[in-house]
Structure 1
Amino acid sequence: MDRQPCVYILASGKHGTLYIGVTSNLLGRLQQHREGLIKGFTSRYDVVGLVHYEMADTMDAAIAREKQLKKWNRDWKVTLIERDNPDWDDLAIGLGLDPVSGRRSR
């Protein structure tokens, strides 16, 4: 999974605050979010649970998809998440990361 362009959605909890990002290293970026190394929105609102991600062939394609998703209304984003992840599980655990410790419950 290293160095594969993708767009991802993080959530603070089920139906919580959402964040949409793009990266070429999903596991590395998730670790940065989880450790609070990326200051700003995600660390301020504890938005670290991976609830959706999509791989892309190129970084340009991933960025285009990110821009598209950011324009969607919240209901569309929730529908996208719940299509494949109805319980809003932290998908990062299935990718090999440990569960987030000390995470605030929402």
Structure 2
Amino acid sequence: MDTSRRDDRAHDWGLLFLRVSGGLFVLWVHGLPKLLYYSAELQSIEDPFHVGANLTLMVAIFAEVVCPLLIVAWLLLIVFTSILIAGPGRLALNVRLAGALRYV
């Protein structure tokens, strides 16, 4: 394998790891405490746009819980769809288990 292709593949896997872990960290550190301690967060959240603390907290929960989950789900969907379309290549089970998966 060419060195530049190996570097590109490592770069792609690194970006995937950073994006998935970043989304999960935002969910874990910011989103889940707001979701689990809703009433306590409702008392302490600031309202910079003067739309009400409840709506401000709902928007924050959407941005810190739903959006990271969508980012992670979208990235994993892209990875698995590309494997489904292009085939697993060297990761194929029939290559590794040649005798066991003969008729699959």
Range into which the TM-score falls when normalised by the shorter chain: under 0.3
TM-score under structure 1 length normalisation: 0.26
TM-score under structure 2 length normalisation: 0.26
Greater helix fraction, Structure 1 or Structure 2: 2
Bigger relative CO (Cα 8 Å, ≥ 6 apart):
1
